[in-house]
Chain A
Amino acid sequence: MGGKLLLLDASPEAPPPLSQVATSGAHGEDSPYFAGWKAYDQDPYHVIFNPSGVIQMGLAENQVSFDLLEGYLREHPEAAGWGGAGAGAGSGVASFRDNALFQDYHGLKAFRKAMASFMEKIRGGKARFDPDRIVLTAGATAANELLTFILANPGDALLIPTPYYPGFDRDLRWRTGVNIVPVHCDSANGFQVTVAALQAAYEEADAAGMRVRGVLLTNPSNPLGTTVKRSVLEDVLDFVARKNIHLISDEIYSGSVFTAPDLVSVAELVESRARRGDSGIAERVHIVYSLSKDMGLPGFRVGVVYSYSDAVVTTARRMSSFTLVSSQTQKTLAAMLSDAAFADAYIRTNRERLRERHDHIVAGLARAGVPCLRGNAGLFVWMDMRRRLDEATVAGELRLWDRMLHEVKLNISPGSSCHCSEPGWFRVCFANMSLATLDVALARMSRFLHKWNKYNNTARTALEK
């Protein structure tokens, strides 16, 4: 009765097989980047209940401008509710029913228009964005993975300048099977990427039998907190054209440039090259954006893939089926972002507050004798602790990091977790806490370094005797 069953190839007691993807460690969570988070989770700082707890300075969140969003929603209840005609002029979505049913992967037109306009404002009108080239994804995490699936095959490589966001190791590699080959940058020129470094990385990939598919830049940079110079961007564009590869520009921090020089977005360069007659470059260029950093809304999962290639837009749109933005969230934000006066005021005020915060932490660290890379953007500073390493190695850096975490009780991110080739640098976030908490952190740093200086001076004196 029934068909013959073929022999099993493993004993029934063995655990059921999962995939190679599932059993690999490529989810990246074994990195020190996440170990600090665990320490924080177990002993989180609270001004009253746990004043000696760990202060979280490893999370690049923007909490300085929530009041602006709350203020908007208070003044514009129609953005929040689903009342018939009051649901936002031109939103095209009149009611709860329509909104709840809307699952079109093109996304709400009103929301895409609002995003395009917001991206233009951030760039001071120096580039235009076509709403029909905006593909929505649930966060930049999904956007970056999506582009990787579309532009590269398993075993291919993306070149990424170091130091880079630790999450890329998971987002770009885990399920895609694509490799990251680092483009080494160092402090000699402020960590700017050079053509020589790009070429070296390209050759390294080639020698390892990996086909390079593209370069991924983060501009403004995470973890450096700097914008990429125009000349460097031009060089990168020339490089990708020469090598016949793609450029992904992750501009997730574009709205948080708070000091000169202004952001130069790759969008601006694509347009200026087109005006000079070179329109071929455009199809290589893809921009990633999100509202998680500029607007402090990481929970809402709003990511964007913006591509100048029709084929990439079409494919990305289809693939976004796996990771669409909630229509409820699209509706709420469409109203907010298409309010031009609000958007302008938000961008301006957010920048000012970030600048104040940035200047405050830089000054505090300087007083404690710690220099930082000169930054003009982002939610963090790139702190230079090279002089405080017991030895100029990754191990030395991790020892110092461990002391920062367990003695000083500050969770900061070691440069090695960002693949920085020079030991001793740390990313320190400043926008995810109150000013009072920031001052507590700075005071702890100060005390720690005072003791460190004293100890080292004593040791040196002892040696000299």
Chain B
Amino acid sequence: MACNVELLSKIAAGDGHGENSSYFDGWKAYDMDSFDLHHNPKGVIQMGLAENQMSLDLIEEWSMNHPEASICTVHGASHFKRIANFQDYHGLPEFRQAMAKFMGQVRGGKATFDPDRILMSGGATGAQDTLAFCLANPGEAYLVPTPYYPAFDRDCCWRSGVKLLPIECHSSNDFTLTKEALVAAYDDARSKGIRVKGILITNPSNPLGTIMDRGTLAMLATFATDHRVHLICDEIYAGTVFAQPEFVSIAEVIERDVPGCNKDLIHIVYSLSKDFGFPGFRVGVIYSYNDAVVACARKMSSFGLVSSQTQYFLAKMLSDEEFMGRFLRESARRLAARHERFTSGLREVGIGCLRGNAGLFSWMDLRGMLHEKTPQAELELWRVIIHKVKLNVSPGTSFHCSEPGWFRVCHANMDDETMEVALDRIRRFVRQHQHQKAKAERWAAMGQLRLSMPRRGGAAASHLALSSPMALLSPQSPMVHAAS
């Protein structure tokens, strides 16, 4: 019985939670028919989840060799009471120190971090929500380069009321953020009376899998300073850079390249969810160069502190510098190998990806497979990929990409065998598509003389027609009938 009290807040009643986005539709298909190499080999393979499963065995081994890192074992039990009781929002000093050192290590020692500027949050998700509350008022905006991580719409906007406005980036320059595009977006916001409070970048980029070059970072720091807008840098994938060029963090740029920039505007978001594969541990970090933001975000961290049990474990692990060095190197090597296997597998059938050197995914170019260059056509192709090819990939439109035809494909969340099955399915799909397309082109060239359905082998022919992606894309097209 729904009574009037069902009336909830505007935040609750709206769809700011973001789950109505197409980003999640593929997940539903996966949930209903999940691939398993042995038990459900025809199921949907999850390639829409940017998880890092490549190197957890190394952590597992470390954990077994270091029982003292767990307060629940006999080796760590003497710390149980102190740790279980510890709820200070400053965080365990040893955790902050280890995290600061590790963040420097991930950046090749090219930047140093002050443990007292490290604040905790409920994952990077919580970090963005907290920063939005600190930096902007409801109705104010961040500018964010497209394509971007879909959940930013929820994380930055849902509770805070902040808006995200796109800075359009294009494949013509590999989706690099240009000053022209930034200025255009900034001016556009201002002309609409929207106050821009910040610029949000993800570096390395999700979904592109590329890193931002030093010049662009310097440009951003300068622009931020000149216009008094904050620069929020989500560096959650900093430890997943597996090939040249080397990662450049905003931390490095503001110390070395643009030392005159206003550091009070610079804030970094970090997490262990991607570099380590620990999304369950909810370890989010806000690192701010602004003292007032540090003080405020620290108080707000009460709403999303990291479990002291987890802080304690990580303090021990992250401060094992030798292991961390080995882990980062080995993880990079495995990510590189996986990336190479995937992208070369795609190249075999003429599918290209944006040239990436980081992240847990590739930005796959299927523009050639669209029957027209529209978001609708992209979504139609995507539905074919989910339901016929049985791969949950993420369509570029869900990342607010302005060019249809790009897809983010995650490949670090599965074992080698599953990767091969996925590649195999893609190859077969693409070859089929190319075959259909070639046939259709031949027919088109010869003129369309035969428009009726064939009488012989009708069932088989129509099966072929239906299983062809062309059929679903344009069922009324005479080319479908001609495919038999």
Contact = CB atoms under 8 A, between A and B. Distances in A.
A244 B302 contact: no
B307 A298 contact: no
Contacts of A369: none
A299 B86 contact: yes
Nearest to A316: B12
Contacts of B10: 153
Contact of B122 (A10, A138, A245): A138
B81 interface: yes
Contacts of A77: 73-74
Given A80-B70, A322-B125, A322-B304, A18 B309 contact: no
Interface string A149-191: 1111100100000000000001100010000000000000000
B295 to A, nearest CB: 9
B94 to A, nearest CB: 14
Given A27-B296, A73-B72, A298-B87, A17 B197 contact: yes
B277 interface: yes
Nearest to B14: A315
A72 to B, nearest CB: 9
B74 A324 contact: no
A376 interface: no
Contacts of B67: 81
Contact of A81 (B2, B73, B273): B73
Interface residues of B, number: 91
A106 to B, nearest CB: 12
B228 A8 contact: yes
B40 interface: no
Among A19, A29, A284, the one with the most B-chain Cβ atoms within 10 Å of its Cβ is: A19
A188 to B, nearest CB: 32
B9 A151 contact: yes
B126 A322 contact: yes
A312 B9 CA distance: 10
A12 interface: yes
A73 B74 CA distance: 8
A224 to B, nearest CB: 23
Contacts of A279: 1
B420 interface: no
Interface stretch (B176-184, B335-343, B439-447): B176-184
Given A8-B228, A66-B81, A152-B9, A97 B53 contact: yes
B187 A3 contact: yes
B190 interface: yes
A145 B303 contact: yes
A21 B133 contact: yes
Given A301-B307, A312-B8, A328-B307, A318 B125 contact: no
Interface stretch (B237-245, B279-287, B387-395): B279-287
A182 to B, nearest CB: 22
A103 B9 contact: no
A290 B5 CA distance: 26
B65 interface: no
Nearest to A156: B9
Contacts of B84: 66, 69, 296-300
A59 to B, nearest CB: 10
Given A5-B187, A22-B293, A318-B19, A102 B1 contact: no
B254 interface: no
Contacts of A21: 133-134, 137
A84 to B, nearest CB: 11
Contacts of B56: 96-97, 100-101
Nearest to B127: A322
B53 A150 contact: no
Given A312-B8, A319-B17, A100 B59 contact: yes
Contact of B280 (A100, A141, A170): A100
Nearest to A299: B308
A235 B322 CA distance: 64
B137 A20 contact: yes
A3 B183 contact: yes
A327 interface: yes
Given A149-B11, A150-B11, A18 B81 contact: no
Among B64, B186, B262, B278, the one with the most A-chain Cβ atoms within 10 Å of its Cβ is: B278
Contact of A18 (B8, B123, B134, B303): B134
A103 to B, nearest CB: 4
A301 B305 contact: yes
Contacts of B4: 244
B303 A142 contact: yes
Contact of B17 (A63, A66, A318): A318
A245 B6 CA distance: 9
B332 to A, nearest CB: 19
B416 to A, nearest CB: 16
A96 B308 contact: no
Contact of B183 (A5, A145, A298): A5
A315 B17 contact: yes
Interface in B233-292: 262, 264-265, 273, 276-282, 290, 292
B280 A138 contact: no
Contact of A3 (B53, B180, B304): B180
Nearest to A1: B180
B149 interface: no
A6 B190 contact: yes
Contacts of A20: 137
Given A8-B228, A27-B300, A318-B17, 12 more contacts: A8-B227, A70-B80, A97-B277, A101-B278, A101-B280, A138-B307, A175-B300, A280-B1, A283-B5, A297-B84, A319-B158, A321-B122
8 contacts: A17-B228, A63-B81, A77-B73, A96-B60, A100-B278, A103-B279, A175-B303, A322-B159
- Top 10 closest pairs, chain A to chain B, by CB: A327-B280, A299-B308, A80-B72, A326-B307, A103-B279, A298-B87, A3-B183, A323-B122, A102-B280, A299-B86
